[in-house]
Structure 1
């Protein structure tokens, strides 16, 4: 057990006030970088009731901690190991909402929750990402792409397939946005994610990914062309293309 995990566990034993004091004191905010090690430690050991409580907190860092920790609760449910399985629907609804949160930190925490789920139960992440993509909304689609396009996850064949599929479907969504709405904040957020995600997905499965990227590079859509240019700048893809 790491040092942060031990401190979070001790705070959890002392009660909600002790946990929130620990998290807010050591959040790293305001500042350029939040304390992700502490966020992960909270996700490792926090009880379900406290996770749910913080996932609805007004404070951005507390809400991020609760959101990311939802991944562990859903993983326990997927493994049929959770004593709170009846609450899984509510946990999932909260995670869906946080994938569309006004805070980019919280949206990133939703993707982290998906990654934690996928690290333990890949099929559960594939299903989650599919549901997010089927909404047809840019922010859930961005969450799906960000959750799947994580190099550590792409050792799993099913997740390599899902990552390329998510990139393709999210790009289709971007292409379908009317010109008048291409500069909307949520659309730009999706475009930004696709600007790196394709390189991760292609590097994870070059045999399938490179042909798909070559086809993508011929797309005349201006925003898709931007996505292609940004991914070409990534060393992991540039080496493959060379």
Structure 2
């Protein structure tokens, strides 16, 4: 039995009130690396009430686990990913529950933001089309952290197994890069903008490597941009082995 399965079985045998202590004991924190296997197991084993409790705690690792769990609910039972008492507004285009993840994408803690990407990847594992629609929506946001979440979610090799998926990833990277290039100079050093730039510093290479025939020309076109941050994105992606091999 793998560690994730073991954690899942142990959590399933605990009352909900004992989950926080168990997660704290096995989180790996404080330390350089949180226990991702445990977080994924918690997302597998929990339900909406447990995820709500973990998120409401405000503690970073329980929130991390709970947010990933929202991705499972979004994939399996979209309505249950909403906050208690939250209903979809008439005319609202975004899926029920997705708005909650959008809010967590703006969290100041990087682990919570990463949990959003992992949550969306769970949606993509279940239904590529729904993920594509969601990241296309988020790509129109005027918020660098929401854009970052879209890039980090879709630029995942296991999800880029169809032409449609690659196009979705390239379009997401392009939209986020355009936003960055249009950001005022006074915003460029803000933490949220830097966070987006960092994601674009690897996301393009993941998307291009998945289908070089489709992606390489779009990436190479970035080199014509006079923008300093776009030039940085080109350089950083060019350092990645997956892209360096393609460019010879």
> Normalising by the residue count of structure 1, what TM-score does the alignment of the two structures yield?
0.92
> 2 CA distance for matches of 1:49 and 1:72?
13
C-alpha distance in structure 1 between counterparts of 2:177 and 2:4, whole Å: 39
The aligned counterpart of 1:210 is 216
Distance 2:157 2:4 in 1: 25
Name the counterpart of 2:65.
65
**Deviates further, 153-162 or 117-126:** 153-162
Q: Which residue number in structure 2 is paired with residue 119 of structure 1?
A: 125
Determine the structure 1 residue equivalent to 2:93: none
How many equivalent pairs are there?
Answer: 238
Cα deviation, 1:44-97, whole Å, max 9, x if unaligned, reads 11112111222333110000000011111000036xxx7x48878563232111
Contact 1:153–1:159 at 8 Å: present in 2 too?
yes
Aligned to 1:30: 30
Say if 1:12 and 1:18, in contact at 8 Å, map to a contact too.
no
Aligned equivalents of 2:82, 2:62: Cα separation in 1: 24
Q: Residues 86 and 34 (structure 1 numbering): CA distance in 2 closer, same or farther, change over 3 Å?
A: closer
> Partner residue of 2:199?
193
* Change over 3 Å in CA distance of 1:85–1:41 after alignment to 2: closer
- Say which SS state the counterpart of residue 142 (structure 2) adopts: coil
Counterpart for residue 45 of structure 1: 45
Matches of 1:223 and 1:190, distance apart in 2: 11
Q: Which moved more, 1:13-22 or 1:207-216?
A: 13-22
Matched, 1:132 2:120: no
Shift of 1:229: 0.3
2:170 is matched with 164
Secondary structure at 1:217 match in 2: helix
- What TM-score does the superposition give when structure 2 sets the normalisation length? 0.90
In 1: Cα distance, 2:175 partner to 2:159 partner: 19
1:106 is matched with which residue: 86, 89, 112? 112
2:77 counterpart of 1:77:
yes
Q: Which moved more, 1:208-217 or 1:47-56?
A: 47-56
C-alpha change, 1:170 and 1:26, in structure 2 (3 Å) is same
Shift of 1:226: 0.3
Give the match for residue 221 of structure 1. 227
State the alpha-carbon separation in 2 of the partners of residues 40 and 154 from structure 1: 21
CA distance in 2, matches of 1:72, 1:189: 25
Q: Secondary structure at the match of 1:14?
A: coil
Q: From the superposition, tell whether residues 150 and 138 of structure 1 become closer, same or farther in structure 2 (CA, over 3 Å).
A: same
